[in-house]
Chains A and B, each alone.
Chain A
Amino acid sequence: DAGVIQSPRHEVTEMGQEVTLRCKPISGHDYLFWYRQTMMRGLELLIYFNNNVPIDDSGMPEDRFSAKMPNASFSTLKIQPSEPRDSAVYFCASSFFSGYYGYTFGSGTRLTVV
């Protein structure tokens, strides 16, 4: 199994530009989670899906953030327009049967907005 695959690994963009982060979960996993990690705030849950349906997006910071999961093997997190304070590492994770057996995390996307 290739694990959770995220792309790109690194993204540098200018303030105001649109950014799209991508995630391919592990085949057979029915939950997908998007997290943001910063030194100040640690790991923050942004949104999660169950069977491709968004369940809880209360962690999405503001309307500039949106996430989709069009099918079981792909999800995107979009930021538009991006701001310097969005600079962070964004992780995607997937799991089978909610969190009982834990999540498998991707390697993350390091986003820098200048």
Chain B
Amino acid sequence: GQQLNQSPQSMFIQEGEDVSMNCTSSSIFNTWLWYKQEPGEGPVLLIALYKAGELTSNGRLTAQFGITRKDSFLNISASIPSDVGIYFCAGHYNTDKLIFGTGTRLQVFP
């Protein structure tokens, strides 16, 4: 099935560093969502974006809905060890289902 391209595939960073990841699509979306999956658990919704150009924050997380509607970005500031996990983007456009990204695996070292 269709998947969105996420980059980078994985990141190994030191505690306190900022993190940036992005998600791109060949199709436009009306909704962009960002999920985090911790080991042994299902993905959990972090941020939802509904308008092109929208910038939304959730604590140290900030996400943006790209102006072209074909991409989205997630930034994490001042990373901490509990940020470890896999981050997924997902897009939605007038269909029943979300299209998920391939995931960015984040590892944070103290």
Same assembly: yes
B44, B97, B102, B103 pick with most chain A CB within 10 angstroms: B97
- Nearest CB of chain A from residue B86's CB, rounded to whole Å: 9
Q: List 14 A-B contacts (CB under 8 A).
A: A42-B3, A42-B100, A43-B88, A45-B97, A48-B96, A56-B96, A98-B97, A99-B90, A99-B95, A102-B33, A104-B45, A105-B42, A107-B41, A108-B40
Give residues of chain A (47-96) contacting chain B, Cβ–Cβ below 8 Å.
Answer: 48, 50, 55-56, 58-59, 91, 93
A102, A105, A106, A107 pick with most chain B CB within 10 angstroms: A102
Interface residues on B, range: 20 to 34
| B92/A108 in contact, CB under 8 A | no
Chain A residues, CB < 8 A from B90: 99, 102
- By beta carbon, the residue of chain B nearest A3 is B42
Q: Is A18 part of the binding interface, using a Cβ–Cβ cutoff of 8 Å?
A: no
Interface secondary structure of B, over-half rule: loop
The answer for the CA separation of A87 and B100 in the assembled complex, in Å, is 21
Chain B residues, CB < 8 A from A31: 96
| B1/A44 in contact, CB under 8 A | yes
| B97/A56 in contact, CB under 8 A | yes
Chain B residues, CB < 8 A from A100: 30-31, 92
Chain A residues, CB < 8 A from B45: 102-104
Give residues of chain B (57-110) contacting chain A, Cβ–Cβ below 8 Å.
Answer: 88, 90, 92, 95-98, 100, 102-103
The answer for the CA separation of A108 and B88 in the assembled complex, in Å, is 16
Question: Knowing A50-B96, A98-B96, A99-B92 touch, does A107 contact B31 (C-beta < 8 A)?
Answer: no
| B97/A48 in contact, CB under 8 A | yes
The answer for the CA separation of A26 and B57 in the assembled complex, in Å, is 26
| A101/B48 in contact, CB under 8 A | yes
| A102/B98 in contact, CB under 8 A | yes
- Nearest CB of chain B from residue A58's CB, rounded to whole Å: 8
Chain A residues, CB < 8 A from B30: 100
Chain A residues, CB < 8 A from B100: 42-43
| B42/A107 in contact, CB under 8 A | yes
Chain B residues, CB < 8 A from A99: 31, 33, 90, 92, 95-98
Question: Knowing A42-B100, A42-B103 touch, does A98 contact B42 (C-beta < 8 A)?
Answer: no
